[in-house]
Homo-oligomer: A and B are copies of this chain.
C-alpha cells in the first residue's frame, strides 16, 4: 500500500461521504430477513449488504461478534466477507474491539492487520482497558502496512461513561488521556511520513471529550440512528474536530431495510446523502 489509512479514508469520504455501512448480522436481523441462524446465512446477509453498498457508500464495518457466534464456520464466512468488501473497493473496518497485554496484542495485530492474514482488514477497532501503551504492537503494524486502528475513546453507550470520564492522577479523563496518547503514538510512529495518522479513535456522535478538537486522527462515529443521535450531533462533532475524516456507522437503520437489494441500496444512498 502506498497511502496511509487516513488518506484512504479521506478519499472514500470525498467520494461518497462519511457513511459507514455496519454489517451486524445479529440473530434478530437474520430472522427479519427470513434467514436461518447459521454461518451461511450470516455471510449471505453481509455480502448482500456489501453488494448494495458498492458505488453508493465508501466504507463498511463488520461486527466480528456476529461471525464469531458461529465459530470456525462463521470465520470462514467472515474471511470471504472481508475479501468481498476489499474487492468492491470499500474501506473495510473489522469491529472486533480487541485488546490485551503487549505480547498477546502481537497476535491480534497479525490477525487483522498483516498483509497475508485471511482476516486482513483496512482497520481494526481496539479496546484499551489494559492500557494504550500495551497496544504498541498493533499501532506499529498498522503504520508498517498503512492500515488503521480505531481505539475506543468515548463510546456511544451510556454504560461506558463512568469509566471513560474517570480521572487519572494527572487530572485528565480516561477518554481525553487516550486521545492524547493516540496522537503522540501516531506522531512517533509516522514521523518518517510513510503512513501518517493511522491511529484513530471511536467517539460517539454525542460525546465531546476534553481536548477532542486537537485530535488529528481519523474518527469512527457510532451512535447515529438506532442508538439515538442524529445529523445535528454529527454536524456539531464535525465542527469541533479539525478535519472531517470520519466514518459514521449506521447498521440497524440500513439492514432493517433488507433483504430486497434495491430497497437496501436506496436506503444506503439516502443515508449517504443525508450524512454528506
Q: B177 and A155: CB pair below 8 A?
A: no
Copies in the complex: 2
| Cα-based distance from A103 to B134 in the complex (angstroms) | 27
Given the contacts A26-B106, A75-B75, A129 and B160 also touching, CB distance less than 8 Å: yes
Known A72-B75, A104-B63, A118-B72; contact A131-B162, beta-carbon cutoff 8 A: yes
Q: Output the least CB separation between A57 and chain B (Å).
A: 21
Q: Which of A108, A158, A163 has the most chain B CB within a 10 Å cutoff? A: A163
Complex: A155 Cα to B103 Cα, angstroms: 14
Minimum C-beta distance from A103 to chain B (A): 7
Q: Which residues of B contact A110 (CB under 8 A)?
A: 27, 69
Q: Could you tell me the distance in whole angstroms from the C-beta of A175 to the nearest C-beta in chain B? A: 10
In angstroms, how far is the closest chain B Cβ from the Cβ of A46? 13
Cα distance, A66 to B111, chains bound together (Å): 8
Q: Contact at B127–A71, with CB atoms within 8 Å?
A: no
Interface residues of A in 73-97 (CB under 8 A from B): 73, 75-76, 78-79, 95, 97
The answer to the question of A107 belonging to the interface, with a C-beta cut-off of 8 Å to chain B, is: yes
- In the bound complex, how far is the Cα of B108 from the Cα of A68, in angstroms? 7
Report whether A68 and B111 are in contact in the complex, using a CB–CB cutoff of 8 Å.
yes
Evaluate contact between A127 and B107: CB separation under 8 angstroms: no
State whether the Cβ of A214 lies closer than 8 Å to any Cβ in chain B: no
- Give the residues from 45 to 81 in chain A that come closer than 8 angstroms, CB to CB, to chain B: 63, 65-66, 68-73, 75-76, 78-79
- Residue of B with least CB distance to A118: B71
Interface positions of A from 152 to 174, Cβ below 8 Å from B: 152, 155-169, 174
Extra contacts, 6 of them, besides A68-B111, A131-B160 (Cβ < 8 A), are A63-B107, A65-B111, A97-B100, A128-B163, A131-B158, A167-B167
